[in-house]
Each structure stands twice: as C-alpha cells, then as structure tokens.
Homo-oligomer: A and B are copies of this chain.
C-alpha cells in the first residue's frame, strides 16, 4: 500500500472516452491498494478557447482576470473525472487548487507555489476518496485565483507528491516515455528506461517538450521519482530519478534539436571592460532570455559578440542591440534566424573524454558547419545552419549508437 500521484495532461482528458479510460487507470491503481491523488489539466483545446474569448474583449487582458478565466478549464476537467470514477463505482472528490490548499504568490499567470496545506487532502484520503485536483492553479493570500504558467499541472503534481511524500508520481501523457531523440524526427530513437533529473533538465531546456523544467527542478529538490508513461496504452514508460552509478556507463542519453532560436552579432565593439554588461543588461531589462554568448578575442582593440535569443524576441533584441551599439560606438548589428541548436546530453560525459570531439567530427563528416559551441558538465550544444539540421540530428544519433 502506497501513495501514488497521477497526472493526466490535456490530451488524456480531451473527450468523454479518454476521461473514462483515464478513470480506469486511476481505479486500477486504487484497487491495488494504493491511495491515489490525481492531477488533471484542462481538456484539449479548452485553454486556447478561453484565451480566444478574452482577446475578443480586449488586447491586453488584466492578468488577475486571465487567471480567473483560464482556471475554469481545469475545474471542468476535475468534475468530469470525478463523475467518471463515480460512474465506475468508486469514491472520488474533485478539488480546485484553492480547495486543495495550494497557496501561491500573487504573480498572476506565472505564480509560484508558496505552501501546500494538506489538511483537506489528509481528510479526504482518510475517507477513502480518490482525490482529483485541478492542476496549474492555486490561490494567493487574499483568495485570488492564480495560475502557475506553462507546465503548471506538472508542477502541481510534483509539488503535491513532494509534500505528501508520495511513493511515485506518474505523468500520463500522449507519448509513452522519454526517447533518445524526438521519434518524429529520428525513427530509430529508443525509449529510455531511466534518466536522471539533471539529464532531463538539460533535455527539457534544450527543446524536448516532455515535462516543464520547473517541475523537474522541484522533483529533483525533493527527490520525487517521476514515471512518464502513455495514457493510451500500458507499455512501461521512463523513470526520471536521481542519478545512480550505472547511469555513468551511458555516454550520451539523448540528442535534441531546437529551431526556436535566432542569432545576433554586434561587430567591432570597442574592447573595454563593462561593454558586455551594458549590452546584456539592456536585453535582460526587456525579459529576453539570452542563451549562448560568444566573444572572440579582440583584434585592433575591437571585438565581435554573438549571442542567441528566442526567435519570437528577435525583432526586439535587434532594436535593443542597435541602440546599445550606437551608444558604445560599436559597428553593425547582424542577425540570422535560420539556425538550429543540436545538443547531446549524458551523465557519462563527466567521466569520459572525447565526447565533444566525436560530435564535432560527425558533424564535419556530414559537412555541417558549426557556428557556435556551448558546453556544460553533461551537455554539448552546437549552433548550426537550420537547413541541414534534421540530417545532422540523425547522424549524431547514429554516431553515439543511441539506436542500439
């Protein structure tokens, strides 16, 4: 007998049949003698429909009112899920974020969980109920409804699992686990049995969309084992857990390709202390997330700086860069949004040499030019031309024998 937290994403509750299928999975876990807390997201396109309603009213809705609006999506899902469980003859109760005791700060649309008061959860578990919790939402100290931002339901699931010291947190989704690469791009990609928090964090931030980094950080901090599996079949999924020694034996766990970045270069920056700080201070002020930064050694007292930003922020970042270039007497500002970021991740890199070299030579064999390089203890990322990037991913996947 254990305590299991299960989270069902939007596609898993998209229609009545899927809700019933999810209800069966929940009941099976309950029948096996476990206490079950279920986190549910809004149905399929519900959130988009709600946002559309808001933008029909005005262009820049108040964020408090946006949270009031979109939080109804999860509330609809939890009531339907509770009904489905009842109709199969099992006891269940739905609870909104506020009712279940999730207290957040008041940063509407991207609130952070401050505390979880588990009184209600304890009470309902004692009654024998399966608890169905609205993901993605909470209330602040004044009982205003807040939402947790992208990936919020994952965060709700992991936070409740951590607070309740759950034995397992299962994330049911529309993929049946975590793969060595995105199977849509790499047909030979292999499902991983196990992966460490750090690896999945690198993969998530590099563009793999399985779970939101915030929820993984939370899971890592509180050591909550997460099992990612499909809500549409019963194949075993992927366990995300803390590092175990045998993970070091695998050199590379996964490869990922992201096409969401663009590149900006500022030419001929006078080589004086504080110039880079000036530049990136301006960019940060506009909430633009700078990823890689490269500064070459200077020539004739001038240097070039290249950095990447999300494609969506490119126009604004160019404008900022041009302003700052003028102020500091730098040269022209160049940009390129036809780039891709190819990365490999693996705990094994820490104890093995030659991994980066192998990646570079594989890319060379494919005649792929590397524009920028960035590395961490367990990751190597290269910025390459977008055009051949799909083939480059296939080549790297093969070179590291991820298909084996």
Q: Is A72 an interface residue (CB 8 A)?
A: yes
Q: Is A109 an interface residue (CB 8 A)?
A: no
CB neighbours of A50 from chain B (8 A): 76
Q: Residue of B at shortest CB range from A132?
A: B65
Residues A175-219 near B (CB distance < 8 A):
none
CB neighbours of A94 from chain B (8 A): 65, 68
Q: Is A20 an interface residue (CB 8 A)?
A: yes
Bound state CA distance, A66 and B83, in angstroms?
8
Q: Residue of B at shortest CB range from A71?
A: B75
Residues A19-73 near B (CB distance < 8 A):
19-20, 50, 53-54, 56-59, 61-62, 64-66, 68-69, 71-72
CB neighbours of A65 from chain B (8 A): 79-80, 82-83, 86, 94
Bound state CA distance, A183 and B65, in angstroms?
39
Q: Residue of B at shortest CB range from A15?
A: B56
Whether A16 pairs with B57 at a CB distance below 8 angstroms is yes
Whether B83 pairs with A58 at a CB distance below 8 angstroms is yes
8 Å CB contact of A80 from B53, B99, B145: B53
Proximity string of chain A (75-104) to chain B, C-beta cutoff 8 Å, 1 when within and 0 when not = 110111011101100000110101100000
Whether B58 pairs with A86 at a CB distance below 8 angstroms is yes
Whether A57 pairs with B84 at a CB distance below 8 angstroms is yes
Q: Residue of B at shortest CB range from A78?
A: B68
CB neighbours of A99 from chain B (8 A): 143-144
Known: A16-B57, A20-B57, A57-B16. A62 touches B76 (CB 8 A): no
Known: A16-B53, A53-B16, A57-B16. A62 touches B78 (CB 8 A): no
8 Å CB contact of A58 from B69, B75, B76, B87: B87
CB neighbours of A83 from chain B (8 A): 54, 57-58, 61-62, 65
- Nearest-Cβ distance from residue A23 to partner chain B, whole angstroms: 9
CB neighbours of A56 from chain B (8 A): 15-16
Bound state CA distance, A79 and B69, in angstroms?
6
CB neighbours of A54 from chain B (8 A): 79-80, 83
Bound state CA distance, A86 and B94, in angstroms?
32
Bound state CA distance, A99 and B64, in angstroms?
14
- Nearest-Cβ distance from residue A128 to partner chain B, whole angstroms: 15
Known: A69-B76, A72-B72, A75-B68. A82 touches B62 (CB 8 A): yes
- Nearest-Cβ distance from residue A222 to partner chain B, whole angstroms: 27
- Nearest-Cβ distance from residue A85 to partner chain B, whole angstroms: 10
- Nearest-Cβ distance from residue A45 to partner chain B, whole angstroms: 14
Known: A16-B53, A20-B57. A80 touches B86 (CB 8 A): no
Bound state CA distance, A19 and B145, in angstroms?
22
Bound state CA distance, A68 and B80, in angstroms?
9
User: Which of A66, A83, A93 has the most CB atoms of chain B within a 10 A radius of its CB?
Assistant: A83
Known: A19-B57, A56-B16. A66 touches B87 (CB 8 A): no
Known: A87-B58, A99-B143, A143-B99. A53 touches B76 (CB 8 A): yes
CB neighbours of A71 from chain B (8 A): 75
A-B contact pairs, 30 of them (CB 8 A): A15-B56, A16-B53, A16-B56, A19-B57, A50-B76, A54-B79, A54-B80, A54-B83, A57-B80, A57-B87, A58-B83, A58-B84, A58-B86, A58-B87, A59-B87, A61-B86, A62-B82, A62-B83, A62-B86, A64-B93, A66-B79, A68-B79, A68-B82, A69-B75, A69-B76, A72-B75, A72-B76, A75-B75, A98-B143, A99-B144
Contact surface of A with B, Cβ cutoff 8 Å: 15-16, 19-20, 50, 53-54, 56-59, 61-62, 64-66, 68-69, 71-72, 75-76, 78-80, 82-84, 86-87, 93-94, 96, 98-99, 143-145
